[in-house]
Chain A
Amino acid sequence: MRSVRQTYPFARPSELDSKDRIRLPVIIVGAGPVGMAMGLDLDRQGIRSVILDDDNKVSIGSRAILWSKRALEVLDRLGCSRRILDKGVTWNLGKIFFGDNKEPVYGFNVLEEEDQQFPGFINLQQYYLEEYLKDEIDTRELTEVRWENEVTAVDQTADGATVTVSTPQGEYKLDCDYVIAADGSHSPIRKMLGFDFGGETFQDHFLIADIKMKADFPTERWFWFDPPFNRGQSALLHKQPDDVWRLDFQLGWDIDREEELKPDNVSRRIRAMMGEDFEFEFEWVSIYTFQCRRMDSFVHNRVIFVGDAAHLVSPFGARGANSGLQDVDNLGWKLALILDGKAPPGLLESYDYERVTAAKENILNSTRATDFITPKSEISRVFRDAVLELARDFEFARRFVNSGRLSVACILDESGLNTQDRDSFNSKLVPGSPGVDAPVTINGEESWFLKSIGNEFTAVYFARDGEKAPRGAAGLEEDCIPVRTVVISGQNEAGAGLLGDHKGLLRQRLDGRPGTCYLFRPDQHLVARWREFDLQAVRDAVARATMQFTG
């Protein structure tokens, strides 16, 4: 079995030797992918944070392996995408198998539109992502990770919180404005503060066997319903880097856990699936049950919950870590505006509303997938099998097949931060949608649209012929909450400082006829758009998106 990949040394915190108490803007609890991404997001916003983790290493075992397009876009904004692209396994295609038939019932593509920087998914072991995030943190000034620093108490005051930290060399206290709990599904912080984590545990077991093997299967997601090698159950195959493959076997509820985990028994299963004379090594083996749970509210005064600490879903659909990264995306800029005194603390209510909505959507999708994979009644199984039989020949039936609705970006269309459309647009985007990517050029160099927006409010303006910038746009940069303007050239050749839309895809995807202006939030979600550039309308939309209107 694989040993721990990367460990990090304990460093004696200076607080142990000093009577002075430091006050930090933010303390993040948990140095998993979500906690570390949170630190990096705040760092981009100029906010200092310390990340406390009770352990000294990146994750053991591959754990989360599917990183969705939207999560990759967030990681790109945080400066961590290059190594993921280099190391990760890209896939867009999935296949569904049913019963004894060796041929797939059908295949599908998870990427709806080509010409975007990121594919539908990249597979990469969680420990690699954690390593990359940690390395990126080490290049930043404002973020620090403290290993073997366990939070044992959180005391909230009127204007902040005090955190008690236990280390191998003693205990100390830290004061902060906000605590972000990114401490995972068992969240000690959530337990300490006594918050409910309501939902359900599903009566089923799954065996993950990550194995190392040389195999020439294509890089696709394969899912089996009721295969001969796991009768009456399901199975899943996924490729990871380093010739590691994830096999996931549904086991059912009545099992002997210890017996199932014995290497001989796991090997027997694997050989039944892959063939008798098949060579492999174990990388990580684990049996899990899963739960769909969430907190009623993710914000409790000065303690904010993100990732698995706040919400938990079944793994089908890759909606766990990917939604955690979208929590980070949503929270970072809001918290920064509040800490800078530019937005009222009430802006956090929009984090709560938007991400609770997303969690509900994820739990709903995850629960429905679970009910399709493990039918709860006889008639439910008959319907399921009828769908799978029809799916071989009928496109409509394929739509019913649910082996996990794979994570897509959450559309915040109900959010009160949006300014509703006055004009009409022929685009898939609505206020609340994340920006869509497209190839662009900057000073002749090829780039991607999403690299040009984000981290601050960005007005994207489609220039008329020969126009350099909309009138008054420069003043927006000087506002208390600045708005950067990105001008899309009206011609195929972009002049200096303008973004070129050389394939015309941005115009097409945003219905960007000349004069159109899109306003994106710092997390790249669309918040307002117009057919004319109107300085006051932009300012009003920013005010609405940051809850400046109290009346």
Chain B
Amino acid sequence: MSQKLCTEPRILDQDDFYARLIALHEGLSSDESNSLNCKLILLMANHIGDREVLFEVLDVVRNYRPQQ
């Protein structure tokens, strides 16, 4: 159950952001992509800052199972 984490759509031009996200990884090796993802996570996490939200994000992805 979501407490503070916002999961409603908030990114206005989601296709544009998505394309840029994927473009970031173009031409990168798997190791480089991993490193880049880690930096993304760290920067975004710091921007969020709120401990409760961060822990909630961790819980959501830990428990997330796509439906078969």
Contacts and interface: CB of A to CB of B under 8 A. Distances in A.
Interface stretch (A67-75, A208-216, A383-391, A498-506): A383-391
A537 interface: no
B42 A385 contact: no
Interface of A is mostly: helix
Contacts of B31: 382
A474 interface: no
A383 B46 contact: no
A390 B34 CA distance: 14
A268 to B, nearest CB: 30
Interface residues of B, number: 8
A400 interface: yes
B43 interface: yes
B60 interface: no
Contacts of B39: 386, 389-390
Interface residues of A, number: 12
Contacts of A549: none
B46 A386 contact: no
Contact of B34 (A382, A387, A389): A382
Contacts of B35: 382, 385-386, 389
Contacts of A382: 31, 34-35, 38
Contacts of B42: 383, 386-387, 390, 396-397, 400
A379 interface: yes
Given A386-B39, A389-B39, A390-B39, A396 B46 contact: yes
A386 B38 CA distance: 6
Nearest to B47: A396
A383 B39 CA distance: 8
A386 B42 CA distance: 8
Interface in A388-422: 389-390, 394, 396-397, 400
A382 B33 CA distance: 10
Contacts of B38: 379, 382-383, 385-387
Contacts of A383: 38, 42
Interface of A: 379, 382-383, 385-387, 389-390, 394, 396-397, 400
28 contacts: A379-B34, A379-B38, A382-B31, A382-B34, A382-B35, A382-B38, A383-B38, A383-B42, A385-B35, A385-B38, A386-B35, A386-B38, A386-B39, A386-B42, A387-B38, A387-B42, A389-B35, A389-B39, A390-B39, A390-B42, A390-B43, A394-B43, A394-B46, A396-B42, A396-B46, A397-B42, A397-B46, A400-B42
